[in-house]
Structure 1
Amino acid sequence: MGGPDGEGDGTPPGPLLSRVEVVTPGGPAAVARDGHRWGPVDGPAVGGLDDALRAALPEPADAALAAVHAALAGDGGQAAFRRALVVRRAEPGEARFHLSARRNRDSIAAHGLDWRRMRPPGIAGSTGPEAHGIFLCDEDGVGFFRMVSDEDPDVWRVEVGGLWLHSDASSSTGLDDAWAISARPIAAGRLTLCGDAPIRSA
């Protein structure tokens, strides 16, 4: 069981985090922080974040709680400005996109996507992983990151069905998951290198 502020694995929420929304096959659940206690958004505070999520989530809750823990543990410096966290299990057949420098093509094709293998700089000029996870965007994000990149990056289509994704704290302070993160490496078998044709969902 979690303490007043934290989770069962000991990872504390960031100072601004006030809302966590989890979408599971059994339905959605949202909890909010009231002072040092958490509870369902439509009910009283019940205790720690884990306690509130267990009260709000359909059973079983263990996989969803593990996804929340992994998201918070991987935030790194982004935790300081995350106001909300959206965690959900991607639908079957759902796809997102990942952009990477062309010099990484062979490594990605062989090993999949793994932030521990990052060779800086990143697409947006970062000198290292901004979070412990794989950054994924929607179709609109592809155009944006192509525009801000100093090079013409590879675009990988990522089949994310069944994976747990969470919202990126740098996008709307985590209020939506148009820019999402997988807290786990993604196998090469889920990836397809896109050609020069416009990106379109299947």
Structure 2
Amino acid sequence: MASVLIPASAHAADPGDTIALPVRDALAALPIQEESRAGYSRDKYRHWIDADRDGCSTRNEVLLEEAVTAPEQGANCTLAGGSWYSPYDDATFTQARALAIDHLVPLAESWDSGASAWTTQERTAYANDLDDARALIAVSATSNRSKSDQDLATWQPPADGYRCTYATDWITVKTRWSLTIDPAEQAALTGTLDGCPNTPIDVTLAR
């Protein structure tokens, strides 16, 4: 696997390459394109699979990985106890059922910005991406419902202190999956990053 530093003007990286560049440069490198939700259905993304056949679905894999206090794992990956921190609303939860696993860049948003042209296998990989910890995140079910399928132009985490991380991770996921952004999204990301450090991102390209 290659590791390369790519300037904003270059587009020579291949899937499996790891790129590193400041987040503002990563934002500038994302193609700008109007979005279309024509033909979208959540059913076109098979999610919460058990890719490694260990009995735990993608949802439970994320809950196990992100637990502040590890839950007990029973038969069929049933989880009991444990605690989790939801950065969207700066809140801690002690019951797994109070949490949702959020696609940081929502499934519908990925469809709008390029995934409509993907294969079924690519959409399944996106919906269950455990290879980059920024792609899926355990958050309160309340904040997940509030966000729904919105991008940064219309929704940002209620916890102000998390917004720089959220914008940076959003750009990282879009970079990883070679997705586009629309003009309103670009403006929102730019406005958010104006108040943030120009954090370097390091990401392995999925496609």
In the superposition, the TM-score normalised over structure 1's length comes to: 0.27
Higher strand share: 1
Higher relative contact order (CA 8 A, sep 6+): 2
Q: Which has the higher helix share?
A: 2
Q: TM-score, normalised by structure 2?
A: 0.27
